[in-house]
């Protein structure tokens, strides 16, 4: 009975039940991230998202329904940015404006995304490892 209650609580917290997550997605996640802990799943627009921790660091991975992980992001900090990105960032922005920094794996490509808090709203800056600004876009603030 305690196990059923626990599974129900997990499903309420994560927004989906464990049995709803497709086996291909669960199997791929468990294979790719066997050391992951504290998983919480969500489904948005047919895609699956899982939040988890590895060695105390926070990650989010996005899967399609076939179990293909198309984006994994690790929450990190300004001081973890490569020097090439820090130099470009510091030319235009102040690190005190940073809300969050993510190291993002998109297939074979690694980028860094810096979420800034500004008076006009939040902005995401996406940098390549060479320090080039690849994308700059405004995003909605969801109270985070």
| pLDDT digit string, tens, across residues 58-105 | 999 999 989 999 999 999 999 999 999 999 999 999 888 899 999 999
pTM exceeds 0.85 = no
- CATH of region 77-144: 3.10.450.360
| CATH tag for 1-74 (out of 3.40.50.10860, 3.30.470.10, 3.40.50.300, 3.10.450.360) | 3.10.450.360
Q: Cβ distance 134 to 127 under 8 Å?
A: yes
* DSSP E strand stretches across the chain: 37-44, 47-54, 57-63, 69-76, 98-106, 109-116, 122-128, 133-139
- Write the pLDDT tens digit of every residue in 8-60: 344 444 455 445 889 999 999 999 999 999 999 999 888 999 999 999 999 99
140 pLDDT band, cuts 50/70/90, is confident
């Amino acid at each position: 009975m305690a196990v059923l209650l626990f599974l129900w609580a997990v499903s309420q917290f994560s927004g989906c039940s464990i049995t709803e997550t497709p086996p291909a997605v669960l199997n791929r996640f468990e294979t790719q991230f066997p050391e992951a802990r504290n998983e919480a799943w969500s489904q948005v627009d047919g895609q699956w998202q899982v939040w988890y921790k590895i060695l105390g660091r926070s990650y989010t991975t996005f899967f399609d329904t076939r179990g293909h992980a198309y984006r994994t992001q690790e929450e990190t900090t300004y001081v973890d940015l490569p020097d090439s990105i820090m130099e470009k960032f510091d030319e235009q922005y102040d690190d005190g404006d940073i809300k969050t920094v993510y190291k993002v794996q998109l297939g074979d490509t690694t980028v860094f995304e810096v979420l800034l808090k500004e008076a006009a709203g939040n902005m995401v800056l996406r940098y390549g490892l060479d320090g080039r600004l690849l994308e700059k876009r405004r995003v909605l603030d969801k109270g985070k």
